[in-house]
Amino acid sequence: MVGATLGSKLVQIGHEVKMGSRSANNEKAVEWAQNNGAHASYGTFADAATFGEVVFNCTGGTVSLAALTLAGAGNLKGKVLVDVANPLDFSKGMPPTLSVCNTDSLGEQIQRAFPHVKVVKALNTMNCKVMVEPSLVPGQHDVFVCANDSQAKAKVVDILKSFGWSSIVDLGDITAARGTEMVLPIWMRLWGLSQNRPFNFRIAR
Amino acid sequence: MVGATLGSKLVQIGHEVKMGSRSANNEKAVEWAQNNGAHASYGTFADAATFGEVVFNCTGGTVSLAALTLAGAGNLKGKVLVDVANPLDFSKGMPPTLSVCNTDSLGEQIQRAFPHVKVVKALNTMNCKVMVEPSLVPGQHDVFVCANDSQAKAKVVDILKSFGWSSIVDLGDITAARGTEMVLPIWMRLWGLSQNRPFNFRIAR
């Protein structure tokens, strides 16, 4: 759902998008491509990694490293990887716990496993509808970015601006992913209380 | 510092406050009481627990259980305990990690260790100056509360209103303390970037 929402937005604003899946003909990916016109296509994770100039990781956080291994370090080499995933573990029931936190984060794990990829953690602190349409939440609110590579970060900031984001908070290097992933427990609680009303974090200052 | 700041505010708005410490004549507590007039006093943790109708835990999170044990379960019995502490472990250098998180929280640990105390987690997501003077941060911003006992929570909400808080977000039972304690890593990062400008979280919706 996150990948389809981001992919559709990227197509709408003029990008070519290839949706990657474990199999080459994932039903949902085929349907997504059919619904999104000539600039939308689908394939394996490796196909998508090869195709993209910028790659979005929208897989479940507990399987992201496996999915990116299928995508292939060689195919991802030198590219910007926007890590939208959260390491939420639903296997022990609700509320989910984080499969990594406190002394490490998924963003850092990905950066370590793929040292030649420019990992930018972003957009993981909100519902996917808000990611691509920030005006769904009234007033000012923020999207956080962090990355080791400042050029990669600047590229992602440009993409976020093209989505409609005006308040983009740069938290520094990829270790700040601990911070943005660890807001998920309060996010889940707020989501449970939200009655489906869109919400987002704002740093008032 | 958190205890002195909260204590001074409570005296200013008309409460009697006894500052508890490990020793009966802690230098800083003596000085604080001297500076805060006839309604401010000091003593041991047990003295403060016996004295207070509402007790604030402003000790370091990694020693809170030990401090509350000194305060005494019997002295705390039936009382409202506002848990302002965060389980920040600075022993491994910066940034600090949390000594408990993800599947548990300090708020829950205190509630389990002191089942006859009404633990209300609140105010732990901001600098102590903002706790007692929310107008330091411009615009709307939030204080979170959670507790198992709704009457205790309502009592703390009243105290927060008397501090000047208008936006008080009730997150439900004490397990939500996981959420509010786990925002500390992003808070620490934001604090490092803040240039001493006061800030706070806001849930935009």
Mean pLDDT of B117-144: 98
Q: Does B188 touch chain A (CB under 8 A)?
A: yes
pLDDT digits (tens, 9 = 90+) for A51-101: 999 999 999 999 999 999 999 999 999 999 999 999 999 998 889 999 999
pLDDT band at B36 (very low <50, low <70, confident <90, very high): very high
User: Mean per-residue pLDDT for B111-118?
Assistant: 98
Do A171 and B182 lie within an 8 Å CB cutoff? no
Average pLDDT, chain B: 98
CB contact under 8 A, B205 and A194: yes
- With respect to residue A198, please indicate whether it lies within any of the assigned structural domains: no
- Of B2, B172, B23, B199, residue with least CA distance to B86: B2
Task: Describe the crossing of helices B2-12 and B27-35 by its angle, rounded to 10 degrees.
Answer: 20
Q: What is the DSSP letter of A25?
A: T
Structure tokens at A152: 């990669």
Give the DSSP letter of residue B62: G
* pTM for this model (two decimals): 0.97
A204 within domain boundaries:
no
Residue B44 — pLDDT band, cuts 50, 70, 90? very high
Q: Is the ipTM of this complex over 0.90?
A: yes
Tell me, what's the pLDDT at A153?
98
User: What pLDDT score does A142 carry?
Assistant: 98
Give the pLDDT band of residue B189 (cuts 50, 70, 90).
very high
In a domain, B178, yes or no: yes
> Can you read off the two tokens belonging to residue A19?
């949706």
How does the average pLDDT of chain A come out, rounded? Answer: 98
pLDDT of residue B33: 98
Q: How confident is the model at residue B42 (pLDDT cuts 50, 70, 90)?
A: very high
For testing the chain B interface, which of A86, A92, A97, A102 should be mutated: the one with the most B CBs within 10 Å?
A102
Range of the domain at A86: 2-193
Distance from CA of A198 to the nearest CA of B (A): 6
Q: From CA B126, how far away is CA A82, in angstroms rounded?
A: 30
Burial class (CB in 10 A: 0-12, 13-18, 19+), A182: buried
B204 with A205: Cβ contact below 8 A: no
C-beta atoms of B201 and A198 within 8 A = no
> Is there a contact between A205 and B194 if contact means CB atoms under 8 Å apart?
yes
**Which of A102, A194, A205 lies closest to B98 in CB terms?**
A102
The first and second tokens of residue A27, run together, are: 């039903």
Cβ-defined contact of A144 to B198 (cutoff 8 Å):
no
Residue B202 maps to a domain: no
What's the confidence (pLDDT) of residue A197? Answer: 96
Which residue in A has a C-alpha nearest to residue B188's C-alpha? A179
Percent over 70 (pLDDT), chain B = 100
The rounded distance, in Å, linking the Cα atoms of B75 and A119 is: 53
Q: What pLDDT is attached to residue B132?
A: 98
Task: Supply φ then ψ for residue B21, to 5 degrees.
Answer: -145, 175
Tokens of A156: 């992602």
Q: Which pLDDT band, with edges at 50, 70 and 90, does B22 fall under?
A: very high
Query: Could you give the CA distance from residue A145 to residue A174 in angstroms, rounded to a whole number?
Result: 9
**3-state DSSP: chain A helix, strand, coil percent, rounded to 5?**
45, 20, 35
The answer to the question of residue B200 being in a domain is no
Q: What pLDDT shows up at residue B200?
A: 98
With b for 16 or more beta-carbon neighbours within 10 A and e for fewer, the A100-132 pattern comes to bbbebbbbbbbbeebeebbbbbbbbbbbbebbb
pLDDT of res. A29: 98
Which of A183, A192, A194 is closest, CB to CB, to B186?
A183
- Please report which confidence band the pLDDT of residue B80 belongs to, taking 50, 70 and 90 as the band edges: very high
The answer as to whether B55 is a domain residue is: yes
CB B93 within 8 A of CB B119: no
Spans in chain A with pLDDT lower than 50: none
**Which pLDDT does position A41 carry in this prediction?**
98
In a domain, B181, yes or no: yes
Task: Evaluate whether residue B34 is within a structural domain.
Answer: yes
* One-letter amino acid of A152: A
User: Is the backbone of residue B164 left (phi > 0), alpha (psi -120 to 50) or beta?
Assistant: left
CA distances from B70 to B23, B67, B87, B124 (A): 10, 5, 18, 22
Region B8-21: mean pLDDT is 98
- Tell me how many domains chain B contains: 1
pLDDT score at B49 = 98
CATH code: domain of residue B179: 3.40.50.720
**Closest of A200, A1, A180, A192 to residue A100, by C-alpha:** A180
Chains A and B form CB pairs within 8 A to the count of 110
